[in-house]
Amino acid sequence: MPDEEHELLERIRGATDGITARPDSVGMVRARVRARRRRRTAWGAGVTAAIAVVATAVVVDWTRSDDGSSPGPADRSEDPPSAIEGDLFRPAGFFEDVVGGKAAPRQVTHRLTRGEKFFALVDWWPTDPRSTPSPYLVDIALERIEGSPAEVCADLGPGSCESRGGGHVAHRYELPAREAFLDPVHRRAPVEVDAADALVRGVTYVRADGWAVSVLVCNCSATGDVLGGTPPLAHDRLEEVAASDTWIRAK
């Protein structure tokens, strides 16, 4: 290596030595991971479930909880339609009732032990008489939260927090799909959805009674493909789904 190049590299190395982290950085990272888990677990579960379907193989990793523990005896994950079309859980049908179009369930998992988590992944084809409908991924999650709705919402990352009646807070966001933790299992690096029009639009309705309902729609698949045009659902319609008391009664 020429001396000049070596000196230049040394100069860069010396310059970057001047920045250091304080010890509390570890705590900050840990707190951010916890906050992110509250929001993104639904997406992670949906993505993993989609992989299972696409591969037409049994991928059981998604049946584990996001904290890494194996499912207990009362945890259940079932293929549709038995769980989804049962008496309590019908997210695909409910989504279809509220926003129209055709929703077909793919996977659902719910933890009955503590009633903490419930995920559903559905394909949704909007009603569009002018053309052949395109499918979208829809991910619905019901989760227990801690803290006030305003505090929880503030931890949810990019997006807006808007107060609603009764102390509830709606978090609305829209992200390029690659920033939405499109991060399937068994990959060493995040999957980048290399298309400008692939995005995730979602609403998390953080309730004053300690529950949060998240509904998101994406025009992408777990493998990074774009499934259709930009999701046609506006935040208002997603919030209609998320804010329904149906989810809370269903738990």
The Cα 223–Cα 244 span in angstroms is 31
Backbone angles phi, psi at 125, to 5 degrees: -115, 110
CB of 216 to other proteins, least distance (A): 16
Told to check if 189 binds other proteins by CB under 8 A, we report yes
Q: Which residues partner with 206 through β-bridges?
A: 169, 212
62 makes contact with other proteins (CB under 8 A): no
Instruction: Report the relative pairing of strands 117-125 and 102-111 from DSSP bridges.
Output: antiparallel
Residues 225, 233: Cα–Cα separation, whole Å = 19
Residue from the set 56, 57, 58, 68 that interacts with other proteins by CB under 8 A = 68
Tell me if 13 contacts other proteins by CB under 8 A: yes
Is residue 249 at the binding interface for other proteins, with CB under 8 A as the rule? no
Residue type, 240: E
Q: Applying CB under 8 A, does 162 fall inside the site for other proteins?
A: no
Stretch that binds other proteins, among 51-59, 94-102, 185-193, 222-230 (CB under 8 A): 185-193
The dihedral region occupied by 179, where left means phi > 0, alpha psi between -120 and 50, and beta the remainder, is alpha
Identify the three-state secondary structure at position 92: helix
Give whole-number Cα distances, 123 to 5, 7, 63, 108, 150, in Å: 55, 57, 19, 12, 31
Decide if residue 207 touches other proteins (CB under 8 A).
no
Residue 3 binds other proteins, judged by CB under 8 A: no
Q: How far is the CB of 206 from other proteins (least distance, A)?
A: 14
Q: Does 155 bind other proteins (CB under 8 A)?
A: no
**Of the candidate residues 86, 144, 151, 158, the single one contacting other proteins (CB under 8 A):** 144
Dist. CA 112–CA 137, nearest whole Å: 25
CA atoms within 13 A on the CB side of 189: 2
Q: Least distance from C-beta 48 to other proteins, angstroms? A: 11
19 to 58: interface string for other proteins, x by CB under 8 A:
xxxxxxxx-xxx-xxx-xx--x---x--------------
β 169-176/160-163 pair status: antiparallel
Quick one: which of 3, 56, 57, 67 contacts other proteins (CB under 8 A)?
Answer: 67
Which listed range, 8-16, 77-85, 86-94, 134-142, lies at the site for other proteins (CB under 8 A)?
A: 8-16
Give the interface segment with other proteins, choosing from 52-60, 63-71, 95-103, 230-238 (CB under 8 A): 63-71
Q: 240: which strand partners?
A: none
Interface residue list for other proteins (CB under 8 A): 4-5, 8-26, 28-30, 32-34, 36-37, 40, 44, 64, 67-69, 116, 144-146, 178-179, 181, 183, 185-186, 188-190, 192
